[in-house]
Amino acid sequence: MNNFNAIRKMVGKARIFAGLFLICIVLPSLASAFVDHLPEVGQVNDNNDVPIHVSTVAHFSEKQVKEAMIRRAKAVHDLWANFGNNDKDDVAKEDAAPVTPTPVDSTPTTTPVDPTPTPVDPTPNPGPVNPVPADPTPNPVPANNVPAGYPGATQGPPVAMGYGGAPITQNPSDQQTVPEQAGAAQNHPTPEEIKEQRKHAGLQVGFYDSTCPNAEKIIKDGMNRAFGNDSSMAAPIGRLLFHDCFVNGCDASILLDKTPSGARVEKLAPTNGATIRGFELIDEIKAELEAECPGIVSCSDLLVYLSRDAFVVSGVPYYDVPGGRRDGMESLEANVIGNLPLPDNTVDKMIDLFKKKGLTEEDLVVLIGAHSIGVAHCFSFRYRVDNPVKATMVDPRLAGVMKFTCTTPMSTLAFDTTTQYKMDSVYYKQLSGKRALLESDALLNEDPRTKDFIQKFGDDENGWFIKFGKAMNKLTSIQVLTGDQGQIRKQCRFVN
């Protein structure tokens, strides 16, 4: 017992000795070493308060060290404050999604390579060289948010409401005293006349090879840049082209904000309005083209090339597109009526409309495949599930998705929820399985004149790709202006 007590006393004394050694010897040594190295990170540049490392050690007073640390803390605070402000400017894009890899363009180029390295532009989507004024003609939507002409639309003049019910400014043309002009009745050319027009249209592949060699590259780069920032940008460009070409031909009239007549323009028509976008991208690319080769590339060719690139970046193999179109000088809202298909059109109406433009039943089904990408607004299909007869043509699972998604008429749902940003034949398989959003698309699978094409393209994606390029070139040669017709606009929103 005495031995055990002796051992305990010895252990206690050892602990006391170790504590005194730590306090008196070790800690002062560590403190001295820390103070000697503190100035290495404490020295501050008076110009920007950013710490500077130095190779030699200098000793500061305690006051100097405290002041240096205070300035450093302030610099860090300011840095994070600026970083937070920049985040506020980054507005999320609607329908944004993971970026689909951009197909590599295998088309050879004859543009000489500049051996001088080009500085990298830190901005992924630079602004136009010549800034274009903000769009003065927002897209109007009626009071119940359903555009006129669509199922469930309220009759009467449009109410000044924008996308989602936001207030909009009045069309500048409406402020003028010029009376609104009725659109002239269109004399649709016969298929034979259209073939003759195309034969002498003057369109050719490589049209700008000598006058603006980089034109197609500038347009392609602009589309790739936009798609890289927002995968949903491809579909709206194709929609713009289709809505332009079906109204008085491919003359970029849908891009005009106003014309000398002062009448309401095409983009204000109910079937366009809030359902079309992409004008800012076209403004940006047009400014780049004007900086490269002023007054050479037309807005109509820009839209055609851009649409091709939008489909290619979405998965369609590259196809050549002829150029040489010139821009129209007229754009009338009244001309849109009866010239664009509606989501509740019968197959007879669609075939008749396409034949007036020189397109066949097969072309109709081929071009409907563009619905492989993009979205539809609920006002264009929600009514189907509320109608007992029409509801039988909708897959019950899709009907449930429609009801769940469509909280407002302007809500959207992807045409192809499986591969929303990829052009492929999946959409045709969905048509065969009653999974079409639009009634007009669903009816194509019921009609013997078009049903076989849907089955064919669903089973042969490569065959559809080939026909798609050909059908697009037929579409983009409808009633084009060439030679000395029309003009080459300096800005796509306004005539010269």
User: Looking at the annotation, which residues are catalytic?
Assistant: 243
Q: What is the C-alpha separation between 11 and 390, in angstroms, rounded?
A: 93
Residue 322 phi, psi (nearest 5): -75, 155
Cα–Cα nearest to 374, from 422, 316, 309? 422
Q: What is the C-alpha separation between 257 and 279, in angstroms, rounded?
A: 10
Measured CA distances, 268 to 5, 54, 149, 171, 350 (Å): 101, 66, 13, 9, 23
Q: What is the C-alpha separation between 143 and 137, in angstroms, rounded?
A: 18
Measured CA distances, 188 to 201, 353, 482 (Å): 17, 10, 19
Both structure tokens of 376: 């539809």
CA atoms within 13 A on the CB side of 57: 7
Q: Which helix (H) or strand (E) is 283 found in, with range?
A: helix 279-292
* Sequence-distant (≥ 6) Cβ neighbours of residue 100 within 8 angstroms: 227, 231, 313, 314, 315, 421, 422
Q: What is the C-alpha separation between 216 and 209, in angstroms, rounded?
A: 9
Residue 323 phi, psi (nearest 5): -125, 180
Which amino acid type is present at position 309?
D
Q: How many residues does the chain have?
A: 496
Cα–Cα nearest to 437, from 454, 460, 412? 412
352-385 burial, b if ≥16 CB within 10 A, otherwise e? ebbbbbbbebbbbbbbbbbbbbbbbbbbbbbbbb
